[in-house]
């Protein structure tokens, strides 16, 4: 609850599972109490891991990666590409160009527009709703006719204080 009082409110731990239409199962884990990886700085402690029927792979935004797949023939391979510090200029330039193109021409919609961004938000919103309601949440969320999740968390977790959500 204390984490909800800071200027970047977040739960201590949030865990979710999603089943995609193609049968791939996703596991989300985030928050202060989730597993921490090598100390790469506050914004670099992330990992995307994929477990499949024929192996496992993971990558982090600081450039670290590893894989154990059919192609590696029973060996775990790993490496480190240039981290975010070295990659950000090359990655930010096309992103910024896309934004400028969109500002100049409405038909050239930015790849990170609000419709795309809302998918990620919906996943987090669904995880919170699932925890609050103790039920499975299917996507897309069929009805938005429910109490605001932050207000509800404020009511359910009163020690967090109203000043955060108000």
Give the helix/strand (H/E) hosting 59. Answer: strand 55-59
Q: What pLDDT shows up at residue 17? A: 84
**pLDDT tens for each residue of 14-52:** 788 888 888 878 888 777 677 776 655 555 667 788 888
Provide the whole-model pTM: 0.60
**pLDDT tens for each residue of 111-137:** 888 888 888 888 888 988 998 999 899
Let me know: does 81 contact 65? Beta carbons within 8 Å. yes
Let me know: does 27 contact 14? Beta carbons within 8 Å. no
pLDDT bracket for residue 62 (50, 70, 90): confident
Give the helix/strand (H/E) hosting 26. Answer: strand 25-30
In angstroms, what CA-CA distances link 77 with 12, 47, 135, 145?
A: 32, 16, 39, 48
Span of 46-60, 66-80, 82-96 with lowest mean pLDDT: 82-96
Q: Where do the structural domains in the chain lie, given as residue ranges? A: 82-109
* CA Rg value for the chain: 19
Q: How many other CB atoms are there within 10 angstroms of residue 130's CB atom? A: 16
- Residue located via tokens 């207000």: 151
Q: What pLDDT shows up at residue 8? A: 59
């Amino acid at each position: 609850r204390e984490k909800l009082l800071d200027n970047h409110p977040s739960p201590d731990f949030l865990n979710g599972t999603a089943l995609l239409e193609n049968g791939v199962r996703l596991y989300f884990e985030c928050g202060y109490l989730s597993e921490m990886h090598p100390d790469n700085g506050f914004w670099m402690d992330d990992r995307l891991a994929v477990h499949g029927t024929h192996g496992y792979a993971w990558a982090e935004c600081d450039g670290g990666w590893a894989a154990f797949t059919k192609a590696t023939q029973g060996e775990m391979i790993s490496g480190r590409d240039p981290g975010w510090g070295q990659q950000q200029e090359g990655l930010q330039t096309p992103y910024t160009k896309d934004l400028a193109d969109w500002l100049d021409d409405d038909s050239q919609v930015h790849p990170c527009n609000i419709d795309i961004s809302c998918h990620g938000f919906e996943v987090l919103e669904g995880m919170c709703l699932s925890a609050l309601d103790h039920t499975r949440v299917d996507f897309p969320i069929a009805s938005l006719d429910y109490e605001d999740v932050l207000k509800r968390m404020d009511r359910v977790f009163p020690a967090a204080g109203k000043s955060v959500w108000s």
